[in-house]
Chains A and B, each alone.
Chain A
Amino acid sequence: MLFNSFEFALFFPAVLLAHFGLPGRFRWLLLLLASCAFYMAFVPAYILILALTIVVDYVAGLLIARAQGVARKAWLGFSLLANIGVLAVFKYWPFLYANAQAAAGYWGFQNPVPALSMILPIGLSFHTFQAMSYTIEVYRGAQEPERHFGRYALYVMYFPQLVAGPIERPQNLLPQLAALDNIGFSSERMTSGLRLIAWGLLKKAIVADRLAVLVDRTYADLAHADSVALLVSAYAFSVQIYCDFSAYSDIARGASRILGVELMRNFERPYESASLGEFWRRWHISLSTWFRDYVYVPLGGSRGSRARTIRNLLIVFLLSGLWHGANWTFVVWGAIHGVAVAVSSGSRQPRAARLGWRTLAVFHLVTLAWVFFRAPSLADATTYLVRLFSAGGWLTRSTHNLGEPSEVVLAGVAAYAVLVLEHLAARHSLVDKLLAARRSVRWAVYYSAVLAFLLLARVSHQQFIYFQF
């Protein structure tokens, strides 16, 4: 079930009515059932995979808390192995098979990896990482094991963030789920949540889905795209992926806020970063901090020599690339970021919150790296980059079909408006000013948003990009 679908527009109000209509003690059950329905709207059978990891991690959490010494470590290892095993089978097996097949063909041996044909369960990497975060925190003693099985299952399955994050930590989510019994309806939470949902929908339906048409068209016909089209598409994808993913996070946070659960912020205007390190503190924050806390710091972080720091950074970014997808394109994307962050890690960090040439340079580096993220294969990414600098079309009208010129202009204006509005909202506390304004002004703004959505939104069932991960 997509957030930008008619189904969700019916589903969420129904859940909300039941949530505040039911006695508090049943809320966890209602949200758990709603989460099951939400997940099963994609591929019903895959809920069994979730059930398996939930049972394994729930039991592991209890056993880790009870055990001492090696046994404690062994139960953590068991839990991690189970989660990584699920990822390996469902996400990385086809990649492993294809590479083994290529190697077997090259060196002339029998491929030892059997072929398995499976659809990647939606949001697998997100809920697996959230589940792993629970057992690791219990192992570290930073989190009490959750004894209420239903509440633990809800921690993994909580529908607003189930399929594309934010990847929550147990310390933030579990206490809030436990306190659901006593939460009452709040009109402030409701309006604030609705504002977030509306902003997310505007970003997704007006900007991301419009830019998607342009970008998809270019990637579908790389061999004929000229440099102008490739350049426009590269910028377009940068904005598309931001508006798509941050829209999902906004809607998730808004929906959850209305239900009484505050989710972590996942984006902080990342394209205003003055360094790549800063970019990663502002982009997909829940994943960056996950890798920082559970991989980078345990590897030694920046505590050792510079060579060791660089090694740790490269490991983290290569893993982050692989987390996104089982394809060499994601590995290269991670490597580009890893090398760039490692190179810049020794230099003096610029003052934050200043837009200037550094911001522009970071944006362009990130945009260039997105080519590997978006391209279906390394060969396509190479074609893209080669043609970007060699296919010409700079001084002539772009002959490649980017789409209707009015659509391209509209998408560009909308994209620019979103980035500027987010910048101004943060700099000048626009939301606070809106809340302090007269009702007629507030309603005029809200009606304008509804009108903009009705007139400019693309009616499509374009999935959120990060669902595939």
Chain B
Amino acid sequence: MDFARRFALFLSPLLVVSTGVELGLRRVETMHVARARALETPNSRIQILVTGNSHEAVGIDCPSLGAGCFNLASGSQGLVTDRRLVERYVGSFPGLKLLLIGVSYNSIQRRTDPEDALLFEYNHAYDVQEGDGVELPWLDSRRFSLFATFGAQRSLEYVFAGFRPRTPIPRSWERLPASAIVSRDKTAEGARRRLAMHHGSMSRDAVARNVRALEALIGLARARGARPVLLVAPVSRSYEEMTLPANRALLEETLASLHARLQVDVKNYWRDPRFEEADFRDFDHLGRVGAAKLSSILRSEVVEPALR
């Protein structure tokens, strides 16, 4: 009993501190928590919903589209997560007319690692789970602890900031600030590393799962009377030259097949000559000027015909 008493005494300060930190972290308004709250609020003004990863998050500037728009894309967000988010929140947008589904070079073959901390953060913020073969381990500390989800460094930053956000939360959800996601690295080494990262997360085994997610997104849009459009954002020439032809061909075949089977519109700006190196913030992300350019192109080629 003496040991049990001493052990309990030893543990008690740790339990008090960790409980305090956990409760504090639950109050932190992260970008995802803030966005989830915005998504919960019904908004009939929104006519366009954008999904995708960082390419669409920083590459589509909603105000330039000329209609109420919510940019649901985010860094490293996969197609299956897009599907889960749209399933969960599409009801908040009764006036939805257009669903712009971002598809990148790496999206179709993107593998999802069930250990990815981002999945736990999404689970916490949006209460969504990937599913379709990727289940979060049910006994994982990150399911119960935000300290474990965020990691020590990020958690401590919140602690020392008085549990306030580390970076300002966007006031609108029309375009994420590029600085939050994308570097300014325009060196050849940076492009090679970025592509190596993309290739590291790609596998042919993941194609079927991602195509199912795309089909579901198309179905969800149509069930709401909205028009789905598959969108491939532009990348710089240097990035494009380093990509593998087999991967590019697979992406194009998949898009062509979806177009043929489901009569869905495909807007592919991958090699669009209207975009120059100066339009890019790094190798595969548009900068502010490039985002405005893509958005105004989309306005005339996609949005206006769809909303007419």
What is A's interface to B at a CB cutoff of 8 Å? Answer: 5-7, 10, 187, 190, 220-221, 224, 399, 401, 443, 446-447, 450, 454-457, 459-461
Given contacts A187-B2, A220-B200, contact A446 B10 (CB under 8 A): yes
Do B139 and A7 have beta carbons less than 8 Å apart?
yes
B132 to chain A, nearest CB (A): 20
In this complex, the member of A6, A454, A459 whose beta carbon has the largest number of chain B beta carbons within 10 angstroms is: A459
Do B115 and A456 have beta carbons less than 8 Å apart?
no
Do B151 and A459 have beta carbons less than 8 Å apart?
yes
Tell me which of B13, B139, B156 contacts A6 (CB under 8 A). B139
With A5-B139, A454-B147, A459-B142 already in contact, 6 other A-B pairs whose C-beta atoms are closer than 8 Å:
A187-B2, A401-B193, A446-B10, A459-B117, A459-B148, A459-B151
A447 to B10, CA, bound (A): 9
Interface positions, chain B 69-119, Cβ under 8 Å from A, are: 115, 117
Do B139 and A187 have beta carbons less than 8 Å apart?
no
Q: Is B181 an interface residue (CB 8 A)?
A: no
Q: Is B152 an interface residue (CB 8 A)?
A: yes
Given contacts A5-B139, A10-B139, A461-B115, contact A456 B193 (CB under 8 A): no
Do B141 and A459 have beta carbons less than 8 Å apart?
yes
Q: List 13 A-B contacts (CB under 8 A).
A: A6-B139, A187-B2, A221-B196, A443-B10, A447-B13, A450-B14, A454-B18, A454-B152, A455-B152, A459-B117, A461-B115, A461-B137, A461-B140
A460 to B149, CA, bound (A): 10
Please, which residue of chain A has its CB at the minimum distance from the CB of B13? A447
Please, which residue of chain A has its CB at the minimum distance from the CB of B3? A187
Q: Is B189 an interface residue (CB 8 A)?
A: yes
- Which residues on B sit within 8 Å (CB–CB) of A221? 196
Please, which residue of chain B has its CB at the minimum distance from the CB of A11? B139
Interface positions, chain B 110-160, Cβ under 8 Å from A, are: 115, 117, 137, 139-142, 144, 147-149, 151-152, 156
Please, which residue of chain A has its CB at the minimum distance from the CB of B149? A459
- Looking at chain A's contact residues, the main secondary structure is helix
A224 to B137, CA, bound (A): 35
Q: Is B192 an interface residue (CB 8 A)?
A: yes
Interface positions, chain B 183-207, Cβ under 8 Å from A, are: 189, 192-193, 196, 200
Please, which residue of chain B has its CB at the minimum distance from the CB of A186? B3
B160 to chain A, nearest CB (A): 13
B80 to chain A, nearest CB (A): 20
- Looking at chain B's contact residues, the main secondary structure is helix
B307 to chain A, nearest CB (A): 45
A7 to B3, CA, bound (A): 25
What is B's interface to A at a CB cutoff of 8 Å? Answer: 2-3, 10, 13-14, 18, 115, 117, 137, 139-142, 144, 147-149, 151-152, 156, 189, 192-193, 196, 200
A172 to chain B, nearest CB (A): 27
Given contacts A401-B193, A455-B152, A461-B115, contact A6 B141 (CB under 8 A): yes
Given contacts A190-B3, A221-B196, A443-B10, contact A399 B148 (CB under 8 A): no
- Which residues on A sit within 8 Å (CB–CB) of B200? 220
- Which residues on B sit within 8 Å (CB–CB) of A401? 193
A451 to chain B, nearest CB (A): 9
Given contacts A6-B139, A7-B139, A187-B2, contact A456 B10 (CB under 8 A): no
Please, which residue of chain B has its CB at the minimum distance from the CB of A224? B192
Please, which residue of chain A has its CB at the minimum distance from the CB of B193? A401
- Which residues on A sit within 8 Å (CB–CB) of B117? 459
B186 to chain A, nearest CB (A): 15
B191 to chain A, nearest CB (A): 12
A187 to B4, CA, bound (A): 9
A459 to B137, CA, bound (A): 14
Do A457 and B152 have beta carbons less than 8 Å apart?
yes
A457 to B139, CA, bound (A): 18
- Which residues on A sit within 8 Å (CB–CB) of B189? 399
A221 to B194, CA, bound (A): 12
- Which residues on A sit within 8 Å (CB–CB) of B3? 187, 190
B39 to chain A, nearest CB (A): 27
Please, which residue of chain A has its CB at the minimum distance from the CB of B18? A454
- Which residues on A sit within 8 Å (CB–CB) of B151? 459
- Which residues on B sit within 8 Å (CB–CB) of A459? 117, 141-142, 148-149, 151
- Which residues on B sit within 8 Å (CB–CB) of A190? 3
Please, which residue of chain A has its CB at the minimum distance from the CB of B14? A450
A44 to chain B, nearest CB (A): 16
- Which residues on A sit within 8 Å (CB–CB) of B142? 459
A403 to chain B, nearest CB (A): 11
A14 to B260, CA, bound (A): 57
A408 to chain B, nearest CB (A): 15
- Which residues on A sit within 8 Å (CB–CB) of B13? 447
Please, which residue of chain B has its CB at the minimum distance from the CB of A455? B152
Tell me which of B140, B149, B156 contacts A455 (CB under 8 A). B156
- Which residues on A sit within 8 Å (CB–CB) of B196? 220-221, 224
Given contacts A190-B3, A455-B156, contact A460 B115 (CB under 8 A): yes
A447 to B137, CA, bound (A): 29
- Which residues on B sit within 8 Å (CB–CB) of A456? 152
A447 to B16, CA, bound (A): 14
Please, which residue of chain A has its CB at the minimum distance from the CB of B147? A454
A187 to B192, CA, bound (A): 56
A221 to B195, CA, bound (A): 12
A7 to B143, CA, bound (A): 12
A450 to B14, CA, bound (A): 9
Please, which residue of chain B has its CB at the minimum distance from the CB of A187? B3
A190 to chain B, nearest CB (A): 7
Please, which residue of chain B has its CB at the minimum distance from the CB of A401? B193
